[in-house]
Amino acid sequence: MKALVILLLAQLCSASLIPEREKDPEYWRRQAQETLRNALRLQRLNQNVAKNLILFLGDGMGVSTVTAARILKGQLQHGQGEESLLEMDKFPFVALAKTYNTNAQVPDSAGTATAYLCGVKANEGTLGVSAGVTRDRCNTTRGQEVTSILRWAKEAGKAVGIVTTTRVTHATPSAAYAHSANRDWYSDGEMPPDALEGGCKDIARQLVENIPEIEVILGGGRKYMYPKNVSDVEYPHEEKHRGTRLDGRNLVQAWQEAKPHGKVAEYVWHRRGLLALNLSRVDFLLGDMMYELDRNNETDPSLSEMVSVAIRMLQKNPRGFFLLVEGGRIDHGHHEGKAKQALHEAVELDRAIGLATRLTSTQDTLSVVTADHSHVFTFGGYTPRGNPIFGLAPMQSDVDRKPFTSILYGNGPGYKIVAGERENVSAVDFAHADYQAQSAVPLRQETHGGEDVAVFARGPMAHLLHGVHEQNYIPHAMAYAACIGSNRGHCNTAARPAMPLLMPFLSLLLLLLC
């Protein structure tokens, strides 16, 4: 009864938070009619050939994360939040993707990356290979390699790039260029002897060797490019950042030396160096930035800044480009149970999407936003309108009589028992950036979720992403739109956009002839 009284009081208080315009039924009717008019305009499909392709991947950005990030974005702009719009919300076509791996109901980021980049579902923990490969078994890899949409674009003469807030050898970006029986084989220092003896290559080496003419690579993880124990240029006294390679190779140097004569290949590791580049004079860019959950604004560029540099670099190619952009630390935040970190990363990814929208045109650029998987992240508790997204629910538990935050996890490191009872969150700073939200089951690392993820699309042929799809469908639809890859039978670029306009005239002609 007490909990119900608290809830009713919260509802009475929240009534004062309702904007005056929303009390008028005509407000909602006008809004719905405007949405209807926009939907009717979508009947005129954009069937242009996509010159450019951009795939935005929010690692771990499930639907609950998208909704919470929308509220956070609105509250950061001093609104109530719920009525806010993310940049991805403005994309006209939305689908759902089924994320399971071939051997896993709840997937990992490697098997999913193989699906949405290579167009083939794969086993958990494997990269750029078919489901015929068993994790950790190097001898199952040969002949099972599958290629990615990044390679298809490069083979079609387009410029290609990768931008990520994680390591460039991490699961998401590495599926674009590598083939590995284990996602954790970042350098040869992480590989078992039998894999090395079997001829399998580490992922960092594959980054340099498999597709040597990737124009833009921006991310972290440079220690996997340097010989073991070589000090890091930015953190020379920190052992965890030292090189890990056993073969003694300097892969940054190898990357530069592999470029064609006369081409300029720039390596930068600092925000200042990246933003100072004269991009008109740079042919290849490797920006190996050091990324932590708390970015150093002086030394490390934001995702938006990296995306801006990447697009301006890639736009120099008259045939267009393919760009993979990963907001990878959404996933990191959730695994740590740090919802505030995860949601701020999602908002930054959305900011990068808005920037890319301003730098490109929907007439020739197909943009797709999706996630590899979800997390066991939720928010609820009958919170009133405008409740701080990181705030308390307006009620106490009717079991242990303690308050709880709206945001909770199904499992993870936030499980805490104090004096034999659930921790009283009112005694801690639950709004702190590193606060770990309470979870139902104790785990050192929170897990992925298994539900479908959203797919947002805008630009040429975006309507091909429209229902519930297998995740591996995504690169096939994008490749079809751009006339790259193996499915190019429809690619008379002059005829395809014109056909819908000609159909009424052709029908009339047939009637006259009959």
- Quote the CA–CA distance of 158 and 149 in Å, as a whole number: 11
Provide the 8-state DSSP code for 232.
P
Hunting for tokens 């907001």 — which residue is that? Answer: 327
CA distance 144 to 305: 37
Binding residue per annotation — 59? yes
Other Cβ atoms less than 10 A from the Cβ of 242: the count is 17
Catalytic residue positions, numbered = 109
Q: ∠ at Cα 430 (425, 432), nearest 5°?
A: 155
Taking the C-alpha atoms of residue 284 and residue 264, their distance in angstroms, rounded to an integer, is 6
Q: Output the six-digit token pair for 27.
A: 């407000």
Rounded CA gap, 3 and 401, in Å? 9
Task: State the maximum Cα–Cα separation within the chain, in Å, rounded to a whole number.
Answer: 89
CB 49 within 8 A of CB 365: no
Please measure the distance between the N-terminal and C-terminal CA atoms of the chain and give it in whole angstroms: 78
For residue 374, what are the β-bridge partners? Answer: 449
Bridge partners for 53 per DSSP: 322, 366
CB count in 10 Å sphere of residue 246: 15
Is 169 annotated for ligand binding?
A: no
SS (H, E, C) 153-191: HHHCCCEEEEEEEEECCCHHHHCCCCCECCCCCCCHHHC
The reply to whether 335 sits in an annotated binding site is: yes
Instruction: Confirm or deny that 170 is annotated as ligand binding.
Output: yes
The per-residue DSSP string of 501-514 comes to HHHHHHHHHHHHH-
Is 373 assigned to a binding site? yes
Find out whether 93 and 466 touch, Cβ atoms under 8 Å.
Answer: yes
439-452 burial by CB neighbour count: b if 16+ within 10 A, else e? beeebeebbbbbbb
Give the other-Cβ count within 10 Å of 68's Cβ.
24
CB 126 within 8 Å of CB 485? no
Residue 24 annotated in ligand binding: no
What the block records as the tokens of 422 is 């659930």
To 5 degrees, how large is the angle CA 201–CA 289–CA 475?
Answer: 60
Q: Is 172 annotated as a binding residue?
A: yes
Give the residue among 138, 117, 140 at the shortest CA–CA distance from 128: 117
| Cα–Cα distance, 203 to 179 (Å, whole number) | 8
Please give the annotated binding residues, written as ranges: 59, 170, 172, 326, 331, 335, 372-373, 448
Please give the annotated binding residues for Mg(2+), written as ranges: 59, 170, 172, 326
